[in-house]
Amino acid sequence: MAVVMIMSVVLIAMLCVAAYTLAVYALPFMLGLTAAQFAYQTGSGLIGAGLVGLVAAGAAFGVMALLFDSLRSPILRLAVALIFAAPAAVAGYALVHGVTKESVPSEIWRQIFCIIGGGFVGISALLRLAAPSASGPTPVR
């Protein structure tokens, strides 16, 4: 019995680490999933919907990378980072809600934990996105 409890704690910790690592990609994933669902509902089939979803997610990630490379103003970079960190906060909220659904009997405390967890994931994604790049602009010689 103790082995099962330890294994469940380890699996939950691994899920949280994966969520933290993938939080930056929450917006491209959600856009790709939404585009794939729309394409499937309009009759494109599974393969067509998958391709549409992949293209939409790739385009969203490409736009993010292009904006971060081309924008030099820290305020504009922060605004783009906020746009991309908001879905990460929602994903963090949903993750904590799923984890605590059976283990926290009080709805109020579950919501408190969910809001705190979503806030942590959103802030960590924001800090990962808004941090200045290590290379920075190259000086002109």
pTM over 0.75: no
Distance in Å from the first CA to the final CA of the chain: 67
Q: Summarize pLDDT for 89-133 with one digit per residue, the tens.
A: 888 898 888 888 888 888 998 999 889 988 888 888 888 776 665
27 and 129 Cβ atoms separated by less than 8 Å: no
Q: Summarize pLDDT for 42-90 with one digit per residue, the tens.
A: 999 999 999 999 999 999 989 888 887 888 888 888 888 888 888 888 8
In angstroms, the CA 77 to CA 65 distance is 11
Domain boundaries, the chain: 20-130
